[in-house]
Amino acid sequence: MTATARAGDAVIREGEAIIRVGDVRKRYGDVRAVDGVTFSVSSGQIFGLLGPNGAGKTTTVEMLEGLRQPDSGRLEVLGIDVARHPDALKERIGVALQTAELYPKLTVVEVLDLFRSFYRRSIPTAQLLEFLDLGERRTAQTRHLSGGQRQRLAVALALVNDPEVVFLDEPTTGLDPAARRALWSLVEQLKAQGKTVLLTTHYMEEAEALCDRVAIMDHGRILDMGSVGDLVSRRFQEKAVQFDRIDGLGDERLAAIAAVTSVRHDDGRDLLYSRDVPATIRDLLGISEEMAVEPQNLTIRRATLEDVFLDLTGRALRD
Amino acid sequence: MRALRSLVIAHIRSYVRDRQALFWTIAFPLIFIFLFGSIFSGGTNRTKLGWADEDGSPSSTALREVFSSASLVEIVDGSRADVLEKMRHGDLPGVVVIPKGYGDQVAAAQKGTGPPAQVTVYTDPSQQTQSGSVKGLVGAILAQANLVGRPPAVVADLQDLQTQDLNAVSYLVPSILGMALMQLGIFAAIPLVADRQKLILKRLSATPLRRWQLVGSNIVMRLIIGLVQMILIVGIGAAVFGVKVTGNIAAIGGLAVLGAVAFTSLGYVIASFAATEDAANGMTGAVQFPLMFLSGTFWPIAIMPAPLQAVALVLPLTYLSDAMRQVMVNGAALFPLWLCVAVLVGWTVVCFAIAARFFRWQ
């Protein structure tokens, strides 16, 4: 107990790294689920692990929560060594798992009160209900909740102990756009309260909308890390010109179009990254006129995380 | 402690809101008690009387006629030894014996040259209702018979007979309590597997809750429900079917607690090997029915074929029900009480050891 208490007393200063992950590895049989991951999260940030299903995001988060043991590497949260003092850690973190099913025959209030009883310190149930907008459903059994309500309850349960660090694993998967936006604003309020949030997602928009920093994961490795702006500008000074694939217009021809730096294909569309969009468009329209076709769904946009992912992995990130 | 208490309350709420669990652990045993209870209580309102005629004279045959024509009486004939044995087993509430020489005595009494003839009537004073109704019936019928000749030619010589063995309902009620505790315990597997499958157990391991608190809360909850079962079943057995509870209620409660723990440990074993809720349902059924039918719940093990008797010897419910009958209604012992308790404790230890080895939290 004394060792636990000492570990728990570690003081974290504003802006200091609150989560440290050092060269962590975990394999299941032949599969390297997490293959040498290193990152740190500063206090008060929203940090996102972005990647497709099976990238190793959930395994990474569950190791940080003390639910899984790493094969090697170091995990530290709030200055606590996760492997050595998981119980001290669990008092101070909040967790929402990917699946948010709970005792189906208990009501919202009953589940909240149950979880509050597990912690030394807890937030009043009424306050949680109000914050998560679950007041109207307080006496509903959890099996009768909608997907969005269930997800909000899962977040509420992650907050009962007023944790300093909150882990949210795919918090908006399966939600409709309105419910997703409602959850985003909740996460932003957590940040406003000074909490540190680590979330996983496979939605680009989610990472762009919420995260101060993003680590892009694939096949158990982190491919790149930084703010969304940095991740994009590091790779793309260009803008993207995008149109439905034109038959008979090959890559060589596309690459020769004025101001084009690279060519990508994404799901039946051609993507030209251009330093000078007007020059590129002029050239493209000239070629298509020559071929007597009209480019369909022609759009010009700035590069996004989607482009970064495509550039890093050669494939699009979609579910 | 706060976490443990909250979890126990949460489990009880989930249980009470689960119709399937309520059915198997409460309604089902009660249905059996009412069903078998009314079958074995005779169904009709007629009182069975054992009838041993050692005289064989026209007078004794005439007296039998009078009795058998009474609408409330059903005569069961046999030798004195026969019918008294049946009564001791609880099959007959009373016995009438016509002694040798009855015919002559009646003849003498009717002429006024001798005292009234005596018939011997056996009842069990410990079975108050039954002995009362037998005495009342016999008295009323004899009074009717005596109207023919005056002064009274026949009187009853009342004898007490201690019936040692159980009647059917007294056998059933403690057995069904054992069965109910068995259902309660092994059904622990289903919510446990469901909670694991829904990752509720995993979610709990992300809180400071300790595993012993989770296991402890499950057991405490089953104990509480087990005591409720005991009160309901013993209460209904005594109030509705007149089962005479001779045992000390604390001893019955202690046995109910031991039974609930023993079968909950078996529930944990099932939960250790069932991957899904459906599998847990199937396995629970597969365990439940042999236990129910081969452990002497509804009929004594002695009447089963030898191979099935051998099976009964390894089933824990055999020992729980046997002990329950001994403690509750002073039933005949198949095994010494200490052996029953030892077997149940042994089962509990072995089952928890298996569960500790194979149970998966995620």
Q: What pLDDT, in 10s, does the model give residues B28-47? A: 888 888 887 777 654 456 77
For residues B43 and B41, give the distance between their C-alpha atoms in angstroms, rounded to a whole number. 6
* Model confidence pLDDT, tens digit, residues A143-165: 999 888 998 899 999 999 999 99
- ipTM score of the complex? 0.82
Whether the pLDDT of residue A2 is over 60: the answer is no
Compute the nearest-CA separation of B126 from chain A (Å): 49
Distance in angstroms between the alpha carbons of the first and the last residue of chain A? 45
Mean pLDDT throughout A102-128?
93
Q: What is the pLDDT of residues A160-203, one digit of tens each?
A: 999 999 999 999 888 888 888 989 999 999 999 999 999 999 88
pLDDT of residue A1 exceeding 80, the answer is: no
Beta strands in chain A (DSSP E): 17-28, 31-42, 46-50, 72-77, 80-81, 93-96, 165-169, 196-201, 213-218, 221-226, 239-244, 260-266, 269-274, 299-302
Quick check: A8 pLDDT over 50? Answer: no
Picking from A101, A113, A141, the nearest residue to B6 by CB comes out as A113
* A93, A101, A106: residue with CB nearest B13: A106
Mutation target for A interface from B207, B213, B217, B360: give the one with most A CBs within 10 A: B207
What tokens were used for B35? 């069903």
Report how far residue A138's alpha carbon sits from residue A133's, in angstroms, rounded to the nearest whole number. 10
Residues of A with a Cβ under 8 Å from any B Cβ are 65-67, 87, 90-91, 93, 95, 97, 99, 101-106, 110, 113-115, 117-120, 141, 157
Contacts of A28 in chain B (CB under 8 A): none
pLDDT band at B186 (very low <50, low <70, confident <90, very high): very high
Q: Are strands A213-218 and A46-50 parallel, antiparallel or unpaired?
A: parallel
Q: Where are the alpha helices (DSSP H) in chain B?
A: 2-16, 19-22, 28-40, 58-69, 80-88, 102-111, 128-146, 168-186, 189-197, 200-205, 211-241, 249-273, 277-294, 306-314, 316-329, 337-358
pLDDT greater than 50 at residue B165: no
Residue A12 has pLDDT above 80, yes or no: no
Reply yes or no on whether the pLDDT at A76 is more than 90. yes
Name the H helices within A123-250: 125-131, 147-159, 177-192, 204-210, 228-235
Q: Is the pLDDT of residue B242 over 80?
A: no
Most confident of A3-17, A116-130, B125-139, B164-178: A116-130
Q: Are B203 and A114 a contacting pair at CB < 8 A?
A: no
Q: What is the pLDDT of residue B56?
A: 85
Closest partner residue to B208 among A65, A90, A157, by Cβ? Answer: A90
- Residues contacting residue A282 through CB under 8 Å, at least 6 positions apart: A258
Chain A residues with CB under 8 Å of B2 CB are 117
What is the distance between the alpha carbons of residues B131 and B148, in angstroms, rounded to a whole number?
27
CA distance A215 to chain B (A): 24
A117–B6: do the CB atoms touch at under 8 Å? yes
